[in-house]
Amino acid sequence: MNVTAAWYISTVATDKKFIDTVIEELGPLEVTAKPMFGEYGLYFLGKNFALVGDNTLFVKITAAGAAVAGRVAQAPPYDGAKPAYRISSAKLNDREWITSLVKATSDALPLPKKKK
């Protein structure tokens, strides 16, 4: 792969259709997506539990989430970010697994600090 192709692949923004698919798969949960820097943050119960970048779902790593996740690839959602679970399409389509992961992860995360 040449440098130009690698740069193009790493800067493809997430499309709305992919976000709609993710929200649909998380259907039993009231998940919202908020645009962030050309990509999206996903929220459940007011907590940011995941990022979506380049049409890929990245769920934050927590001890509670690790108990549910099992063996899942990890990668940073963007350069300089902490690693997160990189959710494959097969895992995303496993509604029971993905909703359990989102619940466990969100339960382990603190509520955002109130803005002054």
From first to last of the 116 residues of the chain, give the pLDDT tens digit: 444 444 344 455 888 999 999 999 998 899 999 998 889 999 999 999 999 999 999 999 999 999 999 999 999 999 999 999 999 999 999 999 999 999 999 999 998 888 77
pLDDT value, residue 13: 82
In terms of C-beta density within 10 A (0-12 exposed, 13-18 middle, 19 or more buried), how is residue 45 classed? middle
pLDDT value, residue 38: 81
pLDDT value, residue 3: 43
CATH topology of domain 13-108: Yope Regulator; Chain: A, (3.30.1460)
Q: How many CA atoms lie within 13 A of 95 on its CB side?
A: 8
94 phi and psi angles, rounded to 5 deg: -90, 85
Nearest Cα residue to 51 out of 73, 68, 35: 35
pLDDT value, residue 8: 40
